Amino acid sequence: MCLSWESRQSMEVLISAERIRERVDAMGAEIAADYVGRPLVVVGVLTGCLVFLADLIRRLNHPTQIALIQASSYRGTATTPGELIVKGEMLPDLHGRHLLILDDILDTGQTITKLVEYLSTRGAASVRTCVLLQKIGRQQVEFQADYVGFAIPDKFVVGYGLDFNDEFRHLPFIAVLPDSAS
């Protein structure tokens, strides 16, 4: 579904670009401080994490490698999760490495829980998690990310890498998708 220009203009901005920038700066400093003396592998969950990943690693000022993994339970125009599919073919050898799983949003908790399990079996020295957003009231699996950018209400959001049918990733802010689209 493609939204009309009027619908796009009426999106409610939930988190401004400036607030995102400030929070990502703070998260970068916190993560770098926590990993002093330990090289880090940031494992980005495709595709929603890409904008967040690019901004965060530039703020780390820390020895960091990047790895990518594909994990998705939302496909096409779906606004509710389906079966989780994980594709780890792009991962390097992670044995003995300190991993930070980076995802755009903690929604039901199923994806990040499965990714922690999946990556832990690859011999990592440690596995921690970082999410830009955590939806309040949506978790079906008990999970607390190690680093959380913002807690948000249970609304379908787009922007700053998050999408609806692969649109709106380019927005520099987080906005609530109008009801007419979801």
Give the domain ranges of the chain.
17-72+79-154
Q: Give residues with Cβ within 8 angstroms of 37, minimum separation 6.
A: none
Tell me the C-alpha to C-alpha distance, in Å, between residue 145 and each of 5, 27, 35, 79, 80: 36, 13, 16, 22, 21
What is the token pair recorded at 63?
Answer: 């020895």
Residues identified as active-site: 107
Q: Give the residue-averaged pLDDT of 112-138.
A: 93
CATH class of 17-72+79-154: alpha beta
User: How confident is the model over 155-167, as a mean pLDDT?
Assistant: 92
pLDDT digits (tens, 9 = 90+) for 103-112: 999 998 988 9
| Rounded percentage of the chain residues whose pLDDT exceeds 70 | 85
Q: Is 61 left (phi over 0), alpha (psi -120 to 50) or beta?
A: left
Least confident of 30-39, 49-58, 76-85, 144-153: 76-85
pLDDT at 73: 64
The answer to whether residues 99 and 118 touch, using CB atoms and an 8 Å cutoff, is: no
pLDDT at residue 93 above 80? yes
